[in-house]
Amino acid sequence: MSDASPVPTLPPSASAKASRLRFAAFWSLPPLLWQLAFFVVPLGFLVAMTFWSVKSFRLTPDATLANWIFILNAGFFRNAYIYTFWLAGLTALLASFVAFPASYAMAFLLKPATRRFLVFMLVVPFFTSYPVRIYSTQIFFSPQGIINAVIEPLGLGPVSVLNSPTGTVVGYLVLTLPLVVLLQTFALGNVPRTLVEAAHNLGCGRLRTILTVIVPSARVGLIVAATFAFVLAFGDYVAPVYLGGSKPPTLSILIADQVKSGNNWPRASVVAVVMIVTLIIVMTAMLALAYGRKGARR
């Protein structure tokens, strides 16, 4: 055995600390400036515009609450808000439950090579434009589309999906499902295998292991995946227009309508700000749900 005493470590000097701070500031400054220029400043301009007015089709920088009062008291806005929130929440739930079996199989059952191939296949849809994917979806669900061509000879059709809330949800799932599967797979992949093996050794069946060990261990990733699905669906414009038929309108369609009707950017800005505030509240609540119990244990 060696009797050499451990070498004491010296605290970092002031110059070393300053060097590390300069290094961190250098690499963190560009994204901060980017966010400031293309998110914070436009967001501030958007909020300011909600207090402007439109006179003779021209924006006038007033200081009026008329736009807020009009939009918040409008029945069409409340209906669109509830409808959009409901569809986004339904999409988050459907995407989470539909994606989980595939994510579980990719994380626990498949070989690494097969898993990498499936991850690649889930990334491929993002190589194409989202509107292109929605147009291709129309081919399946149009009255003379592929699905009706297959099921009508069997006496099961026709089914009507286009220009309906179902069509909008299908479009939302086209947008969100690959991302939810990827996020869930990464979350399940980080679950300690020792916990799963311990549950099996203690006599837990597969379903009980999933519900009592795997899901709680991957809770943060699963909630983040559902939150992403909600956020993407809540602000989407393409699916409600090209698959939902714009009836009833969602908030994103309402923004476009306000701009088209009389160039009313201030009222459209009010709707946009309400959407942003809603997303901030939802994300805060979901993060509290994801990390709340862990923080309580600490």
What is the tens place of the pLDDT at every residue in 157-213? 777 888 889 999 999 999 999 999 999 999 999 998 888 888 888 888 888 899 999
Q: Which H helix or E strand runs over 54?
A: strand 53-55
pLDDT score for 295: 47
Domain span including residue 264: 65-292
pLDDT score for 7: 58
pLDDT score for 26: 84
| 8 Å CB contact between 22 and 236 | no
Asked if residue 3 belongs to a domain, the reply is no
Handedness of CA 237, 231, 42, 22 (dihedral sign): negative
Asked if residue 47 belongs to a domain, the reply is no
pLDDT score for 255: 93
Count CB neighbours of 207 within 10 A.
8
> CATH number for the domain including 121?
1.10.3720.10
Asked if residue 129 belongs to a domain, the reply is yes
Low-confidence ranges of the chain (pLDDT < 50): 1-2, 295-298
Tally of domains in the chain: 1
What is the tens place of the pLDDT at every residue in 52-76? 988 877 888 888 899 999 999 999 9
Asked if residue 271 belongs to a domain, the reply is yes
Asked if residue 103 belongs to a domain, the reply is yes
| 8 Å CB contact between 145 and 138 | yes
Asked if residue 221 belongs to a domain, the reply is yes
Asked if residue 82 belongs to a domain, the reply is yes
The letter for the amino acid at 45 is F
Asked if residue 22 belongs to a domain, the reply is no
Structure tokens at 241: 């227009």
pTM of the model: 0.86
